[in-house]
Amino acid sequence: MTKPHLVDFARERWGEDVVKQLKNINTGGKNNAKGNKYELTYLVFLLAKYGAEESSTTTFLSSQEEGYVDDITLRIGASRKINYQAKNSSGAAADWTDSMEERFTKQQEIDIEYHGFENPEQVLLVSCDDKREKNSQKIEESTLDYASCQFYPYGEQPLELLLTHQETRRAFKRICDADFLDVQSNAMTILLGVLQAKDISKPVAVSTLMTEAKMASKPNIFNGLSEEVAAEVSIDWLRELIEHFPYATINVQSGGYLVSLRGMGVFLPDTLGAEDGPSEPVDDELKLLEFLFALSSKADLS
């Protein structure tokens, strides 16, 4: 059975007026230049925070996905999804309101019933800590198990954030394996460039983004990353096949490649040739898994 489009799901659940609201939310987010800069800043932080983790192959980032809480989405494994609504303001625009609560509640239903996540979270991200404190007191107890307000500062320049926000400093110290501000500032600029150049309207693995950052760094300053994260997939058809699936990742390991999809992993040897590519279209995740497992079994027998 084909999964319905999110708009159709929303229409059936809440009616046509809510569908119009959904479309307006997504359009407004894409046109908000001031907000987008703040979102990018936080995306850079998340990328650095999870970039050196072993789970970077199963951690995904996206921005402006279709939804009611759409500015930033972080997926960790197959069960955890965190959506952020980012407000770079100390004024009324960053207030927790009844309208905000309604959007968060709808997004929670979408994440559980449409996307199939067990533990989704909805976060109002604000650049003013006083606003975070006031908003946190307004959130109804019935929604506290999935809704929260968090603070992350806004900085015009990378150095400003590194000097004033210790968690950001720690994240960049780890991925650079260096405690020098100039190195960390350069790393932040590189990550920003990678995110600006990449279409992340659909989920992209943190490991993929870090690979691109390491390739763009001349000389390499991301010394806190493993060599596996930075290695390239040399088999063109395999790399292109995996790129079509936002929840699939591929990482180079000793003697081959580990392909991961929604918590399942398949090891493929690096001896694969052009003749091993798919002979028929592989256009959904089930077909991809069937093809990969068949390919792995074939390699084991040879």
Q: 228 is written with which tokens?
A: 């596996």
Distance between CA atoms of residues 208 and 103, nearest Å:
31
- Which pLDDT does position 248 carry in this prediction? 82
- Which pLDDT does position 1 carry in this prediction? 47
The pTM (predicted TM-score) of the whole model is 0.76
Q: 133 is written with which tokens?
A: 């404190």
Phi/psi for 200 (5° steps) reads -115, 30
Exposed/middle/buried for residue 39 (C-beta within 10 Å: 0-12, 13-18, 19+): buried
Which residues is 119 bridged to in the sheet? 80
Distance between CA atoms of residues 168 and 188, nearest Å:
10
Distance between CA atoms of residues 143 and 108, nearest Å:
10
- Give the start-to-end residue ranges of the domains of the chain: 6-228, 231-301
- With residues binned 3-state (H G I as helix, E B as strand, rest as coil), the percentages for the chain, rounded to 5, are 55, 15, 30
Distance between CA atoms of residues 60 and 56, nearest Å:
8
Which residues is 125 bridged to in the sheet? 86, 150
Cβ atoms of 210 and 56 within 8 Å: the answer is: yes
The H-or-E segment that residue 299 falls in is helix 285-301
* Cα distances (angstroms) measured from residue 44 to each of 38, 112, 151, 193: 10, 27, 15, 10
pLDDT digit of tens for each residue in the chain (302 aa)?
456 788 888 888 888 887 788 877 766 555 554 458 999 999 999 999 999 887 888 899 999 999 999 999 999 988 899 999 999 999 999 999 999 999 999 999 999 999 999 889 999 999 999 999 999 999 999 999 999 999 999 998 999 999 999 999 999 999 999 999 999 999 999 999 999 998 898 888 898 899 889 888 988 899 998 655 545 677 889 988 988 887 887 876 556 788 888 767 788 888 888 899 999 999 999 999 999 988 887 665 55
